[in-house]
Amino acid sequence: MEAGVLSIILYVLGAALLAALIVLVIKLIYSVNRVNFILDDVERKLKTFDRAFVTIDRVVDSFSNVSDHVVDGVTSLISRLFSHKEKTKDIKKKSEEE
């Protein structure tokens, strides 16, 4: 008799556990669906910001290119001025040595 009562208790507990797991899985499915909806909404909103960021990035790149060209021009001008002075000094020293 004791084995029969023990098996009935195990069956009842197993059924309760199965029912609890089914309820938890259903709640998990609803939660995942809500999270997916929120993520889709955030993704749509970020796409609108992405266009603005691309535009800002292009403008910043243009300013960077312009400043690079200006700096290169000034640097080459300064290097020409200093290299010209050094060449004339070298020429004067050579002429004095001879």
Q: What is the pLDDT of residue 97?
A: 60
DSSP track, 63-95: HHHHHHHHHHHHHHHHHHHHHHHHHHHHHHHHH
Q: What is the pLDDT of residue 79?
A: 82
- Helices (runs of H) and strands (runs of E) counted in the chain: 1, 0
Report how far residue 84's alpha carbon sits from residue 4's, in angstroms, rounded to the nearest whole number: 110
As averages over each run of 10 residues, the pLDDT of the chain (98 residues) reads 86 97 97 96 89 90 93 87 65 61
Q: What is the pLDDT of residue 11?
A: 95
The predicted model scores a pTM of 0.48
Q: What is the pLDDT of residue 25?
A: 97
Report how far residue 98's alpha carbon sits from residue 34's, in angstroms, rounded to the nearest whole number: 92
DSSP state of 1: -
